[in-house]
Structure 1
Amino acid sequence: MINSYMTSKDEKESLRRAYYAVLRNLGLEDWFLIDFSVVGRDTIRSMNLENRGVDRVTDVLSFPSVEIKFPLSLCEYAGDIDPLTGKLFLGDILICRSKVREQAKEYGHSELREFVYLSVHGMLHLFGFDHMNKEDEEDMNAHQDAIMADLGINR
């Protein structure tokens, strides 16, 4: 389940589709809640500095609320389940609107494609994926590519 803020109707639907594609790719059911916001350059820059010590605008930031370990057993997260939704809150994702525009233009594809790609990237981070070394980066990229293909979205 996705809570989205400052997103268009098309973006909300694309987020929903991307979320379910990520779940399919990881072999998971809909047990999760993610808060997703589209923000401006100043907000994402200050969040990047505050949380990562990097003083620059970035395209996407993910803030996990729990550390996910596979194979996933919800019993391990029983204390983290939201009693109102019955879902495990994974965390927050912030995407910078102007970076979506810039990168879509740079890569020669639509803004919606870039938005979905960054959303998938952020969700994979919440599920514990990273790209800090070559092996992890290759694994994360393979998942991203498979998810984008599942969505029928290519470059």
Structure 2
Amino acid sequence: MIIRLAKERRPPALQQRRRLLAVLAEAQRLVGLDRFPGLLQINLVGAETIAAINEASLGHCGTTDVLTYDWREPNQPAQTANRHDDDDKDNVDDDPPIAAEIYVCPDIACAVGPTYGNHPSQEMVLYAVHGMLHLADYDDLEPKAQQRMRAAEDKVMTALQKKFILTDFLKL
């Protein structure tokens, strides 16, 4: 999938955007989503926005860290393609259709990350990885599935931390 990153124009500010796109592309590769066609839209949104989306789409009141929507056709074949892009370019009309969307809340990452010993930027990347794993058919509703997903998150995050600095994407 082609990755496109969008962020609401509100604090915290995003910095190192191109490196963040490289991190997200590597995460996508590690999860196995890079073989699928279409556009993966990753939206960084505030607490109010994600709460509204959470209520409108799932009927849940309040904020959440990440929401994932898979718009791909069932049994869609994988292809060999990997590209990332950002929304500052004028190629929107040339983009393939949106295959999936991940909404990540940096506000929650800032509030919760330090509680788990994570920098808010690192926590934000973890939320994106979590969303990607959902797109790769990981689930976290049952305890066994949740353990499997946490192990996959740990594996991807460890690989990303070996290759990238994950602590400077949000200007705090």
Give TM class, smaller chain: 0.7 to 0.9
Q: Which moved more, 1:27-36 or 1:103-112?
A: 27-36
Q: Report the CA distance shift for 1:19/1:136 in structure 2 as closer, same or farther (over 3 A).
A: farther
d(CA) in 2 for partners of 1:143, 1:59: 18
**Residue 136 (structure 2) pairs with residue 127 (structure 1):** yes
Question: Number of residue pairs matched?
Answer: 144
Q: Report the CA distance shift for 1:108/1:145 in structure 2 as closer, same or farther (over 3 A).
A: closer
User: What do you get for the CA RMSD once the two structures are aligned?
Assistant: 2.7
| Structure 1 residues 85-140: Cα deviation after superposition (integer angstroms, max 9, x where no partner) | 4x674311111121010012222321111111011011111222210112221221
Q: TM-score, normalised by structure 1?
A: 0.77
Query: CA contact under 8 A between 2:26 and 2:160: conserved in structure 1?
Result: no
Q: Which runs of 5+ in 1 are unaligned?
A: 76-82
Q: Report the CA distance shift for 1:88/1:143 in structure 2 as closer, same or farther (over 3 A).
A: farther
Alpha-carbon shift at residue 30 of structure 1 (Å): 6.4
2:60 corresponding residue in structure 1: 54
**Paired letter, 2:78:** L
2:19 corresponding residue in structure 1: 13
**Paired letter, 2:102:** I
d(CA) in 1 for partners of 2:38, 2:144: 27
Q: TM-score, normalised by structure 2?
A: 0.70
Q: Report the CA distance shift for 1:28/1:137 in structure 2 as closer, same or farther (over 3 A).
A: same
**Paired letter, 2:152:** H
Q: Which runs of 5+ in 2 are unaligned?
A: 8-12, 80-92, 167-172
Query: CA contact under 8 A between 2:36 and 2:78: conserved in structure 1?
Result: no
Structure with bigger helix share is 1
**Residue 100 (structure 2) pairs with residue 66 (structure 1):** no
Alpha-carbon shift at residue 35 of structure 1 (Å): 0.6
Identity %: 24
1:144 corresponding residue in structure 2: 153
